[in-house]
Each structure stands twice: as structure tokens, then as C-alpha cells.
Chains A and B, each alone.
Chain A
């Protein structure tokens, strides 16, 4: 069956530009997560959506980062005025629900390179 789909798979952009990353979760999954993996580092939590509840934005590194999710479908992660330190692989994951009893299924990620 279809897994978590992310697009684009690669994005190269100039410093200062805005970028938008997309995540299509597995159908029926109410929980959606965004993570960032910078070179040589572990995954860093960014934001979490659960159904129609207010998202947990506690991991967003600055106000240049924002994310939206419409209902239980697609999510977009937007980075405004990109900086070189934003270069990373951005991973999206979804699970049937939150609470830790359901495994998170990961997409292939978007590799973002800021020149």
C-alpha cells in the first residue's frame, strides 16, 4: 500500500528565499510529524499534528518555520527567508494516532540545500 509521500525529494535554493515542503500521510493516519536531520546529527522534532487539535509547535527552531495541515490530510512545512543552517533532510512521519502505541511511518524525506 501507499506509504508517506514527501515532495520534492530534493530542493536547492538561494539563501533568503522561501521554501515549501509537502507531506502526504498514509490515509487514515490522524497523527503527523515533521522532523529535521542535519548532517551528522540525529532527528530533531519540529512539529506534530493530531486530528483537529492545535498542533504542538514546540520544536520549531524559529518563527521563520511554520506548518499547516488541513484536517487529516496533506501537510506543508514552510521555511521563510532560508538560512544556510536550514540545510538538512526534512522527514515527515504519520501514525494511526498519537500516544506512542502506534509506530510512526516515515517518508523518504526532502533534502534541502541552501546555497
Chain B
């Protein structure tokens, strides 16, 4: 079965530190890739997405992600985190042959301390 792996389950950073959250998927075909964020007490929101074109995509709030096809990865990055970035981050994949559903990773909990 296809799967999405997020190896960092819990990340703790100080404000202004740089962030990189890993995401790997297991499918050799064409994929659409997403990062969702869930702030405390709120619902999931789309952070950014990749469908095609430039593999470096920019999202809201200064986040970006890079699609590296050879590594089956779509890591999320931010150069300088803020306390307000404290949230849970989910990577998700949509397979080209089944665009009905998203396959989610288990999530990474990010805590940023001032």
C-alpha cells in the first residue's frame, strides 16, 4: 500500500531557528503533494501544494517546500520560525491514478519557544 512518512514526530525550536520537516512517500508515479497545518484548536488548513512545474513551491506564512522526485521527498522549510508557527504539520500525497483521496502522514508536532 502507498504510504507517507514523516520521520520527525515532535520538533522543538526556539524563535528565529530554521525549520525543515521531512516527508517521504512510496509511489513511483506522478503525484500531487500537499502540506497541511493544524494550529491548536483549529481545523486543518492548506499550507502549500505542488502539482507540476517549479519543484520549489512557496506557501503562506513564509513556508516553502521542495519536491525532489529522485528522493520521493517533499520537505517543508522555513528560514526563521515564530512562536505562532506552533502547530501540527501534515504531509499528504494524492496519487495520479486515484485523485479521489489524500494519503496523509502521521504528522509532526512543532513547538516554538520564544
Asked if B14 is an interface residue, CB under 8 A from chain A, the answer is: no
A: interface residue count bin: 20 to 34
CB of A76, distance to nearest CB on chain B (Å):
19
* Chain A interface residues toward B at CB < 8 A: 3-4, 33, 35, 40-45, 48, 50, 56, 59, 91, 93, 98-101, 103-109
Number of chain B residues close to chain A: CB under 8 A: 24
Shortest B6–chain A CB gap in Å is: 8
**Given A42-B90, A42-B104, A101-B51, also A91-B99 (CB < 8 A):** no
Interface mask (B87-105 → A, CB under 8 Å = 1, otherwise 0): 0001010100001111111
Chain B stretch 26-46: residues in CB contact (< 8 A) with chain A: 32, 34, 36, 42-46
Residue of B nearest to A91 (CB): B44
Contact at B42–A108, with CB atoms within 8 Å?
Answer: yes
Q: Among A41, A101, A103, A107, point to the contact of B43 (Cβ < 8 A).
A: A107
CA of A48 to CA of B105, assembled, Å: 19
